[in-house]
Structure 1
Amino acid sequence: MWNQARKLQKNRTVKYGIPMLLLVVGGSFGLREFTQIRYDAQKMKKKLDPALEARVNTKKQSAILQDEYEKLKDLDLDGWKNIRGPRPWEDSKEYQEEQRAPLNKGT
């Protein structure tokens, strides 16, 4: 009995082949489970909240665009000035106040 066990331990097929086959076959089953989790997560992501889905509904889309157009129509888009953000070494609040001071005096 122990003799046969020692022979099997020395056999290259038992030593290297069977673990390799177990790894390949077991890996394919493991990958199937992981990919199934991936696809299930994608399905969950695609489901929209009912309130959001009502807003994004394609039948009502033109009405939403008209509302946004009415909001933008009243804004003055030509009278703006670009204000540079602070550099990492500058104090942000102090620099922004310096930038806004001339603008506030003008209005």
Structure 2
Amino acid sequence: MIRQILLKNDILVKLMAVRAYSATSSSSAGSKGPSGPATGAPPADVPGLSTRCVTKKDGPVGPGAERNGTYKVPEYFSYNQTSYFEAEIEMSKFRIPQPSAKN
């Protein structure tokens, strides 16, 4: 259990170092918080996850993993151990900033 936690922590640290997780928030690092409440809706042109997160396979993906087979969620086999962290990085630029409580 502890080994799994340490492994996940190590993966997260490596991804943050390599992919520059805070690169999107560094442009607003000089301000002390959001400029105001977020009034606009999120952009409508948000793309899906890239191939870094999900790998679509043409052939069989796993044992019995078919829509009409015994295992009905074949997408499970399309992810790897870093897919969650990659998705967090890709989605971070589309998130609405948290409102400030200093009003």
Please give the TM-score of this superposition, normalised by the length of structure 1.
0.22
Greater helix fraction, Structure 1 or Structure 2:
1
Structure of higher CA gyration radius: 1
Which gives a bigger RCO, structure 1 or 2 (Cα 8 Å, sep 6+)? 2
What's the TM-score, normalizing by structure 2?
Answer: 0.22
